[in-house]
A and B are shown apart, each in its own frame.
Chain A
């Protein structure tokens, strides 16, 4: 009986470690997706001259969740013509950030982008896209670094922590 309990404890603890390390991975991935989104957006703006709401919905189709979900709901709400883009962007971002693994600084970069979205001429808009992209590249680098540093640590810490607990309880 004791052994079964011990196995459960180790397993649970290892899973917590795994989950923590997964979060780091998801953050990097999401930042990368947002960069892809911006790149596509730049093309839609510069060459296709697509209206904002259509462009966002179009981009969302090419991306996996959760990036998809955010861009799609923003695009759809802008299309309905209620409220300004900034308001919609902020509201949706506040809802979205609860369910994703980005930290506050990452979110802030995305928030900043929404401030000027659709309010500048072509040149200005493209500059803004480039700027945000370089910020995101930086954030991604930070995320990759922390992934390298902490990922294996979380995993082993989870397993070993469980082991320690078992030894102490025995």
Chain B
């Protein structure tokens, strides 16, 4: 949260700070639009403070702080539409798009900011470790869940656990390669992960998954490959390559249940090839952050 205060214009910072600490813990997003009142998503308490209006001057101050007064450095970020800040938080931006030969070249005159607060929930994967590490190796795993149920958070925590190892229960540390197409797993800034991982993690930031997986296998010889949101056909093919190469793949997919994701051709093909040894279905029940772990009792639904 501290990192976010560094990029907020003074008036808005004061407004956010007026909320008590436990409220700030729950905040998910701070949405800022020029000429509109500040919106905070994820507030639970009844404390209602009158939100200030986000002015053009605030916007310009915010952009300066975001870019460390050096907008010229954000070429790539302006093209992708979001900026990762220290702490792994992400600031989504929208404004006028500049085109170049039919492609988006970048954003100018930015009117909306969406600060998405990253929560590094260390330990969310604790309950899964024993199911995922069987017969002395990490199993190929698919995590299924609808958006915002914490798939990426779980994936991140798993990557950390795997790279650290757990000597107390006899699990050695392994080399983990993360292919982070949307910079969400590791939240890299200039190649350096902002989230905490063990020592044995390599990250390929902002790289297309299929190519990235092959690059990692060739260059970093990982034991475990971590990817987010597989879906395209080439992703599936790359995953099979990795698995045949003897690399464990842990990935996520949008969906609710195994039955449901089976309809996707890529997943269907992977399942037919018995690519996965473990499937985890998670669903947001009631509050956020509560996971329903369906296949716990039956490890390895589809085993080799």
Q: Can you list, as one digit per residue, whether each of B85-114 has a CB less than 8 Å from chain A (1) or not (0)?
A: 000000000000000000000101000000
Q: Can you list, as one digit per residue, whether each of B240-282 has a CB less than 8 Å from chain A (1) or not (0)?
A: 0000000000000000000000000000000000000000000
In whole angstroms, how far apart are the Cα atoms of A122 and B63 in the complex?
A: 15
Give the residues from 41 to 81 in chain A that come closer than 8 angstroms, CB to CB, to chain B: 45, 49-53, 55, 78, 81
Let me know if B72 and A118 touch, CB within 8 A: yes
The listed residue with most B CB atoms (<10 A of its CB), out of A50, A119, A124, is A119
When C-beta atoms are compared, the residue in chain B nearest to A84 turns out to be: B64
- Chain A residues with Cβ below 8 Å from B6 are 81
- Chain A residues with Cβ below 8 Å from B70 are 45, 50-52, 55, 118
Q: A84-B61, A84-B64 are in contact. Are A118 and B75 (CB under 8 A)?
A: no
Say whether B65 faces chain A, with CB atoms less than 8 Å apart. yes
- Chain A residues with Cβ below 8 Å from B134 are none
Contact-size category for A: 20 to 34
- Chain A residues with Cβ below 8 Å from B63 are 119
- Chain A residues with Cβ below 8 Å from B78 are 121
In whole angstroms, how far apart are the Cα atoms of A33 and B54 in the complex?
A: 41
Let me know if A81 and B65 touch, CB within 8 A: yes
Say whether A125 faces chain B, with CB atoms less than 8 Å apart. yes
Interface of A with B (CB < 8 Å)?
45, 49-53, 55, 78, 81, 84-85, 117-122, 124-126
Q: Closest 6 CB pairs between A and B?
A: A125-B72, A52-B70, A51-B68, A118-B69, A122-B72, A52-B69
Known contacts A119-B64, A121-B72; 4 additional CB pairs below 8 A are A50-B73, A52-B68, A53-B68, A118-B70
Interface pairs (18), CB distance under 8 Å? A45-B70, A45-B72, A53-B68, A53-B69, A84-B60, A84-B61, A85-B69, A118-B64, A118-B67, A118-B69, A118-B70, A118-B72, A119-B60, A119-B63, A121-B72, A121-B75, A122-B72, A122-B73
Interface of B with A (CB < 8 Å)?
6, 60-61, 63-65, 67-75, 78, 106, 108
